[in-house]
Structures are given as C-alpha cells and as structure tokens.
C-alpha cells in the first residue's frame, strides 16, 4: 500500500512539474513575441522620426552603437567619433562635405516596408522600389533594400544594410 501511495505521489509531482514547465514555456514565448513586436515598432518609429539628428540618436541608439554601413565608417575616419556619436558625426561630416550620400539605394525609399520581421534581438525591414531598367529605357524593375538592427534595452546597438562603396561615391556633383 505504501508503494502504491508513493507511486501516486510521484506521478502527481511529475504531472505538476510538467504543467509548470508548460506554463513557463508559454509565458516565455509570449514575452519573446511581445519583445519582438516592440522591436518591430522601434524600427518603424526610427524611420518615421522627424526630429533632429541628435534627438533621433539619443532616443534610438545605445551609446555603444556599432555601424556596419561602409559609407558611415568612411566618415568616421574624418570625425574620429565612436558609438552613437559616430552615426551623428558622420551625417554632419557628409553634409559639410557637400552632401555626400551615406545611404544610396538607387531610389528605394526607406518608408512603408513590405516586410518587418524580428527574431531574438534582431529586427529587419525590407523595402521595395521600382527602379529604371538601364537596359530598357522607359521600363522599370523591382528592387529591394533592407535595414537590420540589433536591439538591447529598447535601443539599437548594431546596424547592417546593403550599402556599398562605388567609385567616386564621395564626389558630390
């Protein structure tokens, strides 16, 4: 009889532990989804922001922000700035040098993304544009651009995009 009572007790404890684990997993999944939704909105708000560069930097970028856009990185050589200040100073430097384009997407606008997705601490937006077909005058083709950020504590800590360096990109016409 004691063995049967012990078995029933073990089964009850095992079932209780299983229920606790299931509940904890569902709660964690809901928290992750909520955090991912917050990160998606952060990205959308960043590109819709209409305030000053410094206000944008302070609101959206962590102090240790890392930029992977090679045009911004080229400006850092002139400014010597690091972290989120590098983003701001690169924009100022490019403007002072005659308006050097730091983001050249061939005409794709960074508004109204067609896809916004988040996974873990990364959030990505994909934008679509219709660009002139260089081989067929008067025709266009679909082209896409992306912006990906790493998020920590509600601020961007790292950024990637598809911007490249092209011959003469610093020459302003």
pLDDT digits (tens, 9 = 90+) for 68-98: 999 889 898 999 999 999 999 999 999 998 9
Residue 118 CB-half CA count within 13 A: 19
Give the residue among 43, 56, 121, 51 at the shortest CA–CA distance from 85.
56
pTM for the model: 0.77
pLDDT digits (tens, 9 = 90+) for 106-137: 889 988 999 999 999 999 999 999 999 999 99
Is residue 112 within 8 Å of 138, Cβ to Cβ?
no
What is the CATH number that goes with domain 2-161?
Answer: 3.10.450
Q: What are the residue ranges spanned by the domains of the chain?
A: 2-161
* DSSP reduced 3-state for 24: helix
The alpha-carbon radius of gyration of the chain (Å, integer) is: 24
Nearest 5°: the CA angle 108, 65, 49 is 45
Give me the pLDDT at residue 28, please: 46
Q: How many residues are recorded in the chain? A: 173
């Amino acid at each position: 009889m004691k063995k049967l009572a012990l078995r029933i007790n073990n089964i009850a404890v095992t079932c209780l532990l299983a229920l606790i684990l299931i509940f904890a997993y569902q709660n964690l999944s809901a928290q992750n989804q909520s955090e991912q939704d917050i990160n998606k909105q952060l990205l959308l708000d960043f590109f819709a922001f209409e305030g000053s560069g410094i206000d944008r930097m302070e609101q959206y970028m962590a102090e240790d922000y890392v930029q992977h856009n090679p045009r911004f990185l080229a400006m850092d050589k002139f400014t010597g700035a690091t972290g989120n200040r590098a983003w701001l100073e690169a924009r100022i430097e490019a403007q002072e040098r005659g308006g050097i384009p730091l983001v050249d997407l061939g005409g794709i606008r960074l508004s109204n993304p067609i896809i916004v997705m988040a996974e873990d601490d990364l959030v990505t937006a994909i934008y679509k544009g219709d660009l002139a077909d260089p081989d067929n005058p008067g025709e266009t083709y679909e082209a896409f651009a992306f912006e990906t950020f790493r998020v920590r504590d509600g601020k961007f800590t790292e950024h990637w995009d598809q911007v490249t360096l092209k011959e003469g990109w610093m020459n302003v016409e």
